[in-house]
Structure 1
Amino acid sequence: MKNARIVGIDVGTTSVKAAVIDEAGQVISRFSHSYPTHWQTGGAVEQDPQDWVRLVHLALAEMDLDGVVAAGLTSQVNTHVFADADGTALLPAIVWQDGRAQSVAIALDARVTTEDKLKWWGAPMPIDASHACSRMAWVAENMPDIWQQTRWVMLPKDYVAFHLTGVVATDAVSSIGLVDQTLGYVLDILDLVPGARDRVAPIAGIMQSIGLIKEGPLKGVPLICGTMDAWAGLVGTGGAQDGTSMYLSGTSEIMGISSQTVTPTSGVIVFPDYDGIRLHAAPTQSGGDAKMWFAQSNGLKLDEMSALVAQTSPSTATPLFLPQLQGERAPLWDADLRAAFLGVSRATARGDFARAVYEGVAMSARMALEALQASAGVKSDVILCGGGGFRSASWNQIRADILGAELRVLELGEPGVLGAAMMAGVGAGHFTHITEALGALATYDRTYTPDPSQRFRTEDLHSLYCDAIRQTGDLGKRLTQINAR
């Protein structure tokens, strides 16, 4: 990629992040700007799609784009925009954390056999409240006028791409749960919702140019289709290499393993093989979101919370935290689970609660990782890590202790941006394969190793965590029902 630069853009859950990267992996320019998420009663979680478009244009206006030859996109997924033929959003975007379609999802999932799931996907993945068909069925049932006006049900990156290029396209990996292992739509799934097959976008290759940017400082530059943030982030962290384990931390925790071995395992997502890369993924529901909730509830800044945890050693005053503030995804896939603190005493202080939040999130990651290890047939002593959640040294050490593995942290703190840039580099012909791009662009600058003195405590604590999830889940659901009366 001599003398060339590429742009990676990540439309995340809380912000738009972007960077201009040169052929040596040096960050020339970067951008990050947050936008609001609207949480409402009844489980609704929404965003304004125009915020994504506005901030992408702002990123391109503010960064140094000299020498840029291609741009790549990634975004949050299982966030859906219902748009008309002109690309106008008919509703606020329904965010992946939105649980309104849970009852619809249960009914749809009951219509699909495990045998069919294994045939299509290679794993018994659930149709949950965030599945595209669940969302389409919910809108069709509750907003029939909107459903009739809907021409496209789009993911955030595809909505942004349409407004940049005028081309409607998506990719197979982002369409997980809608496509089979041949990377084509499963019509039997789409036909669960009448009209769904007419409202999904044409599929393009992840590293394929979908068109040229129409206007602005990158006018005439090819836009590479890209894919979902989990795949882009896992690959950007190191997942292009078979047998590698990865850990992404942002709003949620996402565990990943790259392996051609597939052992059907409940609760795990197995992506279709793409260009020799077969990713097994387990996205949890709450990671940085739990940290932000606790910090905001206690009047703390995020760095203040990390400092507080660094000063607080585990003790008999440390409670157990279950981080399911808004249900759980992998490996439990239960939108109705709720969080809890267990073992609180008069001796429990704010630092003990904060430490428990860090530990609880790490244990949810371990539960997800163990399911992945069964699915992929891989257990590694080293985990490659990336994302804003790894800025806290105290949290990173807790994670290393609970996971029992060495953590190596990506130097560029935004693996989704790096993955999008890698895909753009391949799509523009400046790398022959994503593994070449990984070798050129990815470096790691921090390492955390497990503290042997914590081994027995963390093993017992994780066993207790798993028991607590099973035993308190129904109690939390009953409490929610009582308070809703």
Structure 2
Amino acid sequence: MDFCLIGIDVGTTSTKATLIDQNGVQLASFSRPHPTSRLTPGMAEQDPQDWMDGVLGALGQFSGAVDPARVLGIGLTSQVNSHVFVDGRGEALRAGITWQDTRAAGDAAKLDAQVTAEQKTAWFGGPVPIDASHALSRMAFVARTEPENWAATRHVLLPKDFVALKLTGAVSSDPVASVGLVNASGTYVGELLDLLPGSAERLPPLFPFHHIAGRVRAGLPFAGLPVTVGAMDAWAGMFGCGVVEDGDAMYQSGTSEIPGVISSKVVPTPGVILFPPYEGMRMHAAPTQSGGAALAWLSSLLGRNPQELSDLAGNCVPSADLPYFLPHLAGERAPIWDSASRGTFARLDANAGPAQVSRSVMEGVAFSVRWAFETLSNSAGRKIESANIGGGGSRSDVWCQIRADVLGMELRRTVVPDAAPLGAAILAGVGSGAFEALAPAVRQLVRFERTFEPDVRLAALYAERFELFQSLYETLKPFNALF
């Protein structure tokens, strides 16, 4: 059977999309950046119209690249925890608050103090934190600071759900993307929502990933085509990385790094996000705050593009004398969940030029992920020795090898660079009936092109540097607490 599928990802820095055929071959791709507003400390907002401009741009491009009759469906994914407050007409009342925004930290602390670790474990299977990006924290923040907008809010939606609403007119979401709000059975935790009056009625109804939210409205490209509810970027990217069975591990590299593992065994572990089971899959994830964002920052600082920095780092020999870099440019998420932490270089000397600093940044990001993977191993009750890697940050051979060496893990890289939109397209394939189930769709549509093996000669060096990396964070905690 000859058919095509579309996957769209509203990411942190851009809207990306892929058009694939029935074998997973990418026929066309699309990417359009969207800006983030950071006018005040902790602020990170985006205009939802920028997301829609990207989505419609992708659909317009793809409609000219292939016969629309060949396309069976559209799948969606997006950044989380990012939130749009919309009124009864489906119009955004304010800019979208992205996951990087930390202004709700005080609201989060007050909410978290009202919930015990035992309650969290009963609801979610582990002590999932209520942090500044939690949906309830965001709603509390808007209710406190913008009471008029809160009163006018009919729905609080994720970016992918906002896109589905605009494309089809339907309001929907999925239980997995509602992490921290739903229990193991995939329903909202009423006892938690009671902490903020008015929150429950503003949340969307929940459906499976492959559920058809609606069909594209008349007058838009691909009018009448079914649009699936879709999944959050971590899960869509997981499928796009070929991870679908117990024991499979992923490493998604984008603006942030998202390591995760599927494991039916659960050992409650602080710092890990434990998602509700979905079709027998239990994903343990530990998303960091800064991955590609750290390299983008350095790129801007040095006036060189990321590829140039990667080349420089590749010419720099691993050494105990290299500077250390703590990539907490906007706080840190897993596994320490410390929004007050900030980035730093340590042990800089006169020998540190662009090459040394570039490698230090790449190593620092990899050390953050090593910390996350060690925590995930505890949570999943298993040693993680290999992972499938995808995402824009995985395209650098140099960085992939640094990651493999720092982690001491084998990394298998996908052919299609953008794992999240590929995963969204896979969900469109299941929702449209092209595939009977998720696992066979993943196995047919995801392909790999290279494996990076860790250099065992560097194991001792990186074990020592990792310990010092952790010590650097602990040493700076009192300093960061002053601000």
What is the CA–CA distance in structure 2 between the aligned matches of 1:49 and 1:166, rounded to whole Å? 16
Contact kept? 2:323, 2:347, Cα under 8 Å: yes
Q: Which portions of structure 1, spanning 4 or more consecutive aligned residues, are displaced by more than 4 angstroms? A: none
> Secondary structure at the residue paired with 1:204?
coil
The count of residues paired between Structure 1 and Structure 2 equals 478
Counterpart residue type for residue 284 of structure 2 = H
Counterpart residue type for residue 21 of structure 2 = D
Shift of 1:162: 0.3
Find the counterpart in structure 1 of residue 202 from structure 2: 199
Find the counterpart in structure 1 of residue 423 from structure 2: 419
Kindly indicate whether residue 235 of structure 2 is the aligned counterpart of residue 231 of structure 1.
Answer: yes
Shift of 1:71: 0.7
Q: What is the TM-score with the length of structure 2 in the denominator? A: 0.97
> Secondary structure at the residue paired with 1:223?
strand
Shift of 1:250: 0.1
Kindly indicate whether residue 302 of structure 2 is the aligned counterpart of residue 298 of structure 1.
Answer: yes
Kindly indicate whether residue 11 of structure 2 is the aligned counterpart of residue 44 of structure 1.
Answer: no
The within-5 A match list for 1:372-391 is: 372-391=376-395
Quick one: structure 1 residues 65 and 158, their matched pair in 2 at CA, closer, same or farther if it must change by over 3 Å? Answer: farther
Counterpart residue type for residue 22 of structure 1 = D
Contact kept? 1:317, 1:348, Cα under 8 Å: no
Find the counterpart in structure 2 of residue 178 from structure 1: 181
Unmatched tracts of structure 1, length 5 or more: none
Kindly indicate whether residue 29 of structure 2 is the aligned counterpart of residue 30 of structure 1.
Answer: yes
What is the CA–CA distance in structure 2 between the aligned matches of 1:477 and 1:65, rounded to whole Å? 55
Q: What does the per-residue CA deviation read over 1:336-376, in whole Å, with 9 as the maximum and x for residues that have no partner?
A: 11011111112222211111100000000000011111111
What is the CA–CA distance in structure 1 between the aligned matches of 2:212 and 2:430, rounded to whole Å? 10
> Secondary structure at the residue paired with 1:324?
coil
The within-5 A match list for 1:43-442 is: 43-63=42-62, 64-66=65-67, 67-215=70-218, 216-315=220-319, 317-442=321-446
Counterpart residue type for residue 470 of structure 1 = E
What is the CA–CA distance in structure 1 between the aligned matches of 2:194 and 2:399, rounded to whole Å? 45
Shift of 1:316: 5.1
What is the CA–CA distance in structure 1 between the aligned matches of 2:379 and 2:242, rounded to whole Å? 19
Q: What does the per-residue CA deviation read over 1:48-101, in whole Å, with 9 as the maximum and x for residues that have no partner?
A: 000111111111001124200111000001111111111111111001000000
Find the counterpart in structure 1 of residue 7 from structure 2: 8
What is the CA–CA distance in structure 2 between the aligned matches of 1:317 and 1:117, rounded to whole Å? 43
Return 119-128 or 210-219, whichever deviates more: 210-219
What is the CA–CA distance in structure 1 between the aligned matches of 2:43 and 2:278, rounded to whole Å? 33
Counterpart residue type for residue 402 of structure 2 = I
Shift of 1:425: 0.7
Shift of 1:399: 0.3
Contact kept? 2:320, 2:465, Cα under 8 Å: no
What is the CA–CA distance in structure 2 between the aligned matches of 1:458 and 1:313, rounded to whole Å? 13
Find the counterpart in structure 2 of residue 461 from structure 1: 465
Counterpart residue type for residue 10 of structure 1 = D
Counterpart residue type for residue 61 of structure 1 = G
Q: What does the per-residue CA deviation read over 1:401-426, in whole Å, with 9 as the maximum and x for residues that have no partner?
A: 00001111011001101110111111
> Secondary structure at the residue paired with 1:211?
strand
Shift of 1:13: 0.6
What is the CA–CA distance in structure 2 between the aligned matches of 1:169 and 1:403, rounded to whole Å? 38
What is the CA–CA distance in structure 2 between the aligned matches of 1:266 and 1:458, rounded to whole Å? 24
Contact kept? 2:80, 2:232, Cα under 8 Å: yes
Q: Sequence identity, in percent?
A: 46
Contact kept? 1:248, 1:255, Cα under 8 Å: yes
Contact kept? 1:180, 1:272, Cα under 8 Å: yes
Q: What does the per-residue CA deviation read over 1:437-474, in whole Å, with 9 as the maximum and x for residues that have no partner?
A: 11101111011111122111101001111111112122
Q: What does the per-residue CA deviation read over 1:248-292, in whole Å, with 9 as the maximum and x for residues that have no partner?
A: 000000001011111100010111111111111110000000000
> Secondary structure at the residue paired with 2:230?
strand
What is the CA–CA distance in structure 1 between the aligned matches of 2:394 and 2:7, rounded to whole Å? 20
Counterpart residue type for residue 304 of structure 2 = L
What is the CA–CA distance in structure 1 between the aligned matches of 2:397 and 2:325, rounded to whole Å? 20
What is the CA–CA distance in structure 2 between the aligned matches of 1:330 and 1:309, rounded to whole Å? 26
Shift of 1:379: 1.8
Kindly indicate whether residue 456 of structure 2 is the aligned counterpart of residue 452 of structure 1.
Answer: yes
Q: What is the TM-score with the length of structure 1 in the denominator? A: 0.97
> Secondary structure at the residue paired with 1:263?
coil
Contact kept? 2:56, 2:221, Cα under 8 Å: no
Counterpart residue type for residue 82 of structure 2 = T
Counterpart residue type for residue 59 of structure 2 = L
Return 428-437 or 320-329, whichever deviates more: 428-437
What is the CA–CA distance in structure 2 between the aligned matches of 1:127 and 1:232, rounded to whole Å? 23
Unmatched tracts of structure 2, length 5 or more: none
Quick one: structure 1 residues 374 and 27, their matched pair in 2 at CA, closer, same or farther if it must change by over 3 Å? Answer: same
> Secondary structure at the residue paired with 1:41?
coil
Contact kept? 1:237, 1:384, Cα under 8 Å: yes
Counterpart residue type for residue 44 of structure 2 = V
What is the CA–CA distance in structure 2 between the aligned matches of 1:168 and 1:335, rounded to whole Å? 32
What is the CA–CA distance in structure 2 between the aligned matches of 1:200 and 1:222, rounded to whole Å? 23
What is the CA–CA distance in structure 1 between the aligned matches of 2:78 and 2:361, rounded to whole Å? 27
Counterpart residue type for residue 279 of structure 2 = D
Counterpart residue type for residue 255 of structure 1 = P
What is the CA–CA distance in structure 1 between the aligned matches of 2:478 and 2:106, rounded to whole Å? 17
Contact kept? 1:338, 1:477, Cα under 8 Å: no
Contact kept? 2:6, 2:74, Cα under 8 Å: yes
> Secondary structure at the residue paired with 2:241?
helix
